Structure 1
Amino acid sequence: MRKNVGANEPFHESIRLSLAAVGVGLTTTLVVIYVACALVALLLPGLQASHAWLGLFTAAPLLSAAGLVEGILSNVAFAWLAAAVFVPVFNAVSWRCA
């Protein structure tokens, strides 16, 4: 249970991250960025900046349905991998530094 901290109360507990919260947050962020880049690539095909991001997550043709699905699934996998590494490291470091 979290303790409410007033303006005059010190807070000495370490902050702990939830794997589920970080995983869902990272997944949502990466998928939104991926879809935004796909839309930019579709609407502005001459702009190469979005193509580089799309190419990181799929080997399929960039604007194909298979490429979009593969890219989204890759983003989900990488987001959860990053969360699975980041959360325990952060929790361990914040506990030691508190």
Structure 2
Amino acid sequence: MSIDTDTAARVAKLARIRVEDQDLPALANEFNGILGFIEQLAEVDVDGVEPMTSVTPMRLKRRDDVVTDGDQQPAVLANAPDAREGFFAVPKVVE
């Protein structure tokens, strides 16, 4: 895929970036360089490669999802400017 100056101008407009007319050919060349790099990445053979979450192999720590410091409703609501019936009260914003 090749980007021309008209497409570069459209992308700049969509991104709300002001680009002078004399700078459009350079911007189009930058876009073409980026697309060329992406095409090179598409040629890499990744069959049999496991997806990674990080560059260093590690496992996420797993733990039981249990409440460890619950039953604090009165203390939490003490900070609220307005609390009713055990909940934060906020002004109505939708009619």
TM-score range, shorter chain: 0.3 to 0.5
Which structure has the bigger radius of gyration?
Answer: 2
Tell me the TM-score normalized by structure 1. Answer: 0.32
Task: Tell me which protein shows more strand as a share of its residues.
Answer: 2
Higher relative contact order (CA 8 A, sep 6+): 1
Quick check: which one's helix share is greater? 1
